[in-house]
Structure 1
Amino acid sequence: MTTSTFIPRARLDGTAGRTGTVVTPHGEIATPAFVPVGTKATVKTVLPESVAALGAQAVLANAYHLYLQPGPDIVDAAGGLGAFMNWPGPTYTDSGGFQVMSLGVGFKKVISMDVPGAPAQDDDAIAPGKERLANVDDDGVTFKSHIDGSRHRFTPEVSMQIQHQLGADIIFAFDELTTLMNTRGYQEESLERTRQWAIRCLAEHKRLSAERRHRPQQALWGVVQGAQYEDLRRKATRDLVELSRIDRDNGGKGFGGYGIGGALEKANLGTIVGWVTDELPDDAPRHLLGISEPDDIFTAIENGADTFDCVSPTRVARNGAIYSFDGRYNVTNAKYKADFSPLDAELDNYSTQYTRAYLHHLFRAKEGLAATLATLHNLSFTVTLVDRARRAIEEGNYVEYRDDFLARYYAGTRQTC
């Protein structure tokens, strides 16, 4: 069985944007594509069948969390991630590096310089009131489980072993995620550490791929770090491309694609993605690890990202925030108590038949169905947004589609939850 390959299709004039197809052992992904996050082998509150029915093409799970629960051996015995969670399509797993850092220093999803009470440049920064649970050295990371405090160690080899047992079609090299609070000097040290870890990941991936021929072959993707420094981002990208070439020359598979990760501020998202994609070969798929709002999606597409994941649509849904083409709103607000209109009249999905008043009632009554319907709706909204962007590129009217969407979505005062 082949590992992932990328077939470019149409170009977005004047930008790095494009459409294409990522081919994996469990199916094709038409790009650009939004990949829902199923951290613990589940997209929270919804059935995998429902996620597939609303048009999602792939899901991304988390190696760190699945290592802790239920353990990669259990997922392997089930036949791999897709079989374990009853998902028939392509799957991704990240390396666990993000969670080791974010949970280890207590910042969780916050990795920018605006953390309250934290200094802007401090290599030993930790979130106020938190205990350091992770320590990085050149060989790997030692950390305490956020669940029970037990001690564990991830190295590049361990991450590869875990991800091979999890069995996703696309896996990511183990990397060190820094924050924007780290100094330039530390960013340079970390980048070299991540490069060395990438070499070890390639070697272990090659060994495991030969050993595990009874499973579909997996594609290893390198991860580009470098924070907000252009020279570091470009160097990291060139280094990974060269490592991939050397590995292929020596009988390996090289990197099947590349992830764009690390700390960055929203205002610099497009610029940083552009630096990276400018250095990548045209036939290499690019995945942007973790973005947020609809304008970020358009920025990512225009700067050459092929796929991207985001927990925001599902996370905010569980708190009552609903995406609509006229902006985001919180259905728990009192004004929706007797609003019998659909969540969004233009979106045809699982939640079309349910009213805002009904969702308002479910959330107020703390019924579990509230999170399920809101999550399905927000996933459908995001998948539809990206599917229409892909079609607009191919039909030559992307700019009009983007401008019309953003003008309507962000009209007036942006609503928050």
Structure 2
Amino acid sequence: MFKIEQKISKSLGRAGVLITPHGEVQTPSFVAVGTKATVKSLSPEQVKEAGSQIVLANTYHLYLEPGEKIVKEAGGLGKFMNWQGPTMTDSGGFQAFSLGVAYGSKLSKFIGNESPKQEEIDEAYREERDKKAKITEDGVEFKSIIDGSKHFFTPEKSMQIQSDLGADIIFAFDECTSPHAPKEYLKEALARTHRWAERCLIEYRKNHPTPTLPEGEGAQRGTFGYHTTDSVTWKNLQQRVLEMREKPTPAENMLWQHLRKNSTKYHFRRQHIVGNFIVDFVCLEKSLVIEVDGDIHDYQKEEDKSRTEFLNKLGFYILRFKNEEVVENILKVLEGIKVGLKALPFGEGLGGVSSQALFGIVQGGRYEDLRKESAKVIGEMDFDGFGIGGSFVKEDMATAVKWVSGILPTDKPRHLLGVGEPVDIIFGVENGCDTFDCVAATRMARNGTLYTKRGKININNAKYKNIFEPIEEGCKCYTCKNYTCCYLSHLFRSKEMLAATLASIHNLYFINSLVAEMRESILNENFFDFKENFLRDYKV
């Protein structure tokens, strides 16, 4: 599921590839936030053109409207919103707690230094909690922001909703405490979060059983061949897999060059182990296996028959093509594959919700001992990856992330929840985070605040009325290639809808370009030069 390509010297950071049934995500990566299955003011095509590889939707909001069953009936989150790529959903916990429990209008992801004295905060928190909180060992009760109706989220309920939503990566349900909660309560909440994490795993396994294969126990999550072979077989066959990838037949290579470019609009893996077989190509999302056969298959029909029966029992459908068919008429072969994909329902066999990855969440607030305790407890559970949640003192965010990353397993991905400012991403990457999500890029854009390499600007300021240049020279986003500051300023002043679209395109492109450049610097082993140059010019 996650492959590390290069590590940052003397640091916890790395560049890698996150593999999902709907495609690969090159990390570090910024996850575009589409709260209600839409990135506000942008079409999926515009999000993709802005460089986004993956989007996140919110479980709380989709549960309330239109309802998770509607999304499931539509074919899952990706199909529902017409997003051709990987998806995430959060657990719904943050909104259930922050909106339903009403932690206060002035609370945010970061705790500022201008916060009032801790004693005053603790007392105000206790009063607010006594009045509003509906938290029990079972879960949290909250009121809908739509109609005021009462609802109750439990770890099991969150898993069930996220299973129906069908995203590639889902998150465990955790207690999201107020950033100003006193330490005595944080300890209590942290223990509850750890118990809830165990309940999430139990419920998750009900909906995502490991297939029973002749070889015995299924592979550990996060390994190549996840859910399709056992660990012993995988170790025995992995060298053969690599050899086959390095020396494909001309027909296999020709077909792979088309499949890897998503010409079918579905993600395929090559030389993938299923049971004790290595299949040529597989689309896990649709449970479709493609075999490219040479002449030897004319003499092993019984073997091929038993292989096909085995794959069929696991829910896979098999398409077979001869070498000469692929070489002589690749377009006809691709058309046949597309027809097969279209005929297969979403989520059958091993390729639907059974391919979801579950991330556990580390909490602990602003306290080092609690953060480290949570990282140890959650890190030892059988999650596919990890989210780092809760609030931070902004100036100490990098240190807090380092506390956690230094304890969590190194071979699994780490996601920093709700953090997406340029400087924060740089320090997050340096300290071991692979992916990030935040509404700030598009939310600020809709209000006229735009990112540049010199820092943020407010396009509503009067000086931009007469600047006949793009937001940033050299920026290759659609907005900068086609429009000037004065035009965008005019749109905002006129309250035109196009203003939000053009500004959001630019900000999303800026963040995606930033993480892409960071990735390149890691691969080229000059991350610290990149960091120094960026921070020198970027004014916060």
The TM-score with structure 1 as length reference comes to: 0.91
Q: Partner of 1:136: helix, strand, or coil?
A: coil
Range that drifts further, 176-185 or 27-36: 176-185
Instruction: Kindly provide the CA deviation profile for residues 131-190 of structure 1, in whole angstroms up to 9, marking residues without a partner as x.
Output: 966511111000101121100000000000110111100000000011232111111110
> Does the C-alpha gap of structure 1 residues 282 and 117 become closer, same or farther in structure 2, counting only changes over 3 Å?
closer
CA distance in 2, matches of 1:35, 1:121: 34
Kindly indicate whether the alpha-carbon contact (under 8 Å) linking 2:465 and 2:490 is maintained by their aligned counterparts in 1: yes
Residues 133, 143 of structure 1: 8 Å contact kept: no
Q: Which amino acid aligns with 1:240?
A: I
Residues of 1 paired with 2:417 and 2:193: CA distance?
16
Gaps of 5+ in 2: 211-346
Q: Which residue of 2 aligns with 1:251?
A: none
SS of the equivalent of 1:337 reads: helix
Q: 1:78: which partner in 2?
A: 74
| Pairing partner for 2:357 from 219, 243, 247 | 219
Q: 1:346 to 1:177 in 2, by over 3 A?
A: same
SS at match of 1:105: coil
**Counterpart check, 1:281 vs 2:282:** no
Cα distance per residue 1:252-282 (max 9 Å; x no partner): xxx1100000121111111111111111111
- 2-structure distance, mates of 1:318, 1:345: 21
- The one-letter code of the counterpart of 2:522 is I
C-alpha distance in structure 2 between counterparts of 1:71 and 1:80, whole Å? 12
The alpha-carbon deviation at position 78 of structure 1 amounts to 0.6
Amino acid at match of 2:535: L
Alignment map for 1:159-238 (pairs within 5 Å): 159-210=158-209, 214=349, 215-216=352-353, 217-238=355-376
Report the CA distance shift for 1:57/1:14 in structure 2 as closer, same or farther (over 3 A).
Answer: same
Bigger mean CA deviation after superposition, 292-301 or 355-364: 292-301
* 1:364 aligned residue (493, 507, 519): 493
Number of the residue aligned with 1:35? 31
**Residue type of the partner of 1:293?**
E
Report if the CA contact (8 A) 1:134-1:144 is conserved: no
How many residues are treated as equivalent by the alignment? 394
Q: Could you say which residue in structure 2 is the equivalent of 1:97?
A: 93
- Kept after mapping to 2: 8 A contact 1:40/1:66: yes
Structural mapping, 1:8-157, within 5 Å: 8-103=4-99, 104-107=101-104, 110=108, 112=111, 119-122=120-123, 123-124=125-126, 126=128, 134-157=133-156
2:306 is matched with which residue? none
Instruction: Report the Cα offset of residue 53 of structure 1.
Output: 1.4
Q: Which runs of 4+ in 1 moved over 4 A?
A: 113-118, 131-134, 211-214
Determine which of 480, 483, 498 is the counterpart of 1:354: 483
Q: Distance in 2 between matches of 1:280 and 1:45?
A: 37
Gaps of 5+ in 1: 245-254
- CA distances 1:89-121 after superposition (whole Å, capped 9, x unpaired): 110100011111211215366253756899322
Structure 1 residues 276 and 117: CA distance shift in structure 2, 3 A = closer
CA distance in 2, matches of 1:334, 1:220: 48
SS in 2 for 1:221: strand
Give the aligned residue type for 1:272: A
Cα distance between partner residues in 2 of 1:125 and 1:105 = 12
- Taking the aligned partners of 1:151 and 1:89, their CA distance within structure 2 comes to 34
3-state SS of paired residue (1:305): coil
- Which residue of 301, 304, 317 corresponds with 2:429? 301
> Which residue of the partner structure matches residue 248 of structure 1?
none
TM-score by length of 2: 0.70
Query: CA RMSD of the aligned region, Å?
Result: 1.9
Check whether the contact 1:106–1:132 (CA below 8 A) recurs between aligned residues.
Answer: no
* Equivalent position SS for 2:455: coil
| Structure with bigger gyration radius | 2
Residue 218 of structure 1 and its aligned partner are, at CA, apart by: 0.5
The alpha-carbon deviation at position 399 of structure 1 amounts to: 1.3
2:403 is the counterpart of 1:401: no
Residue 389 of structure 1 corresponds to: 518
**Identity rate, percent:** 50
- The C-alpha deviation readout for 1:53-78, integer Å capped at 9, x for no partner, is 12111001110011111110111001
Give the corresponding residue for 1:336: 464
Residues 334, 405 of structure 1: alpha-carbon distance in 2 compared, 3 angstrom cutoff: same
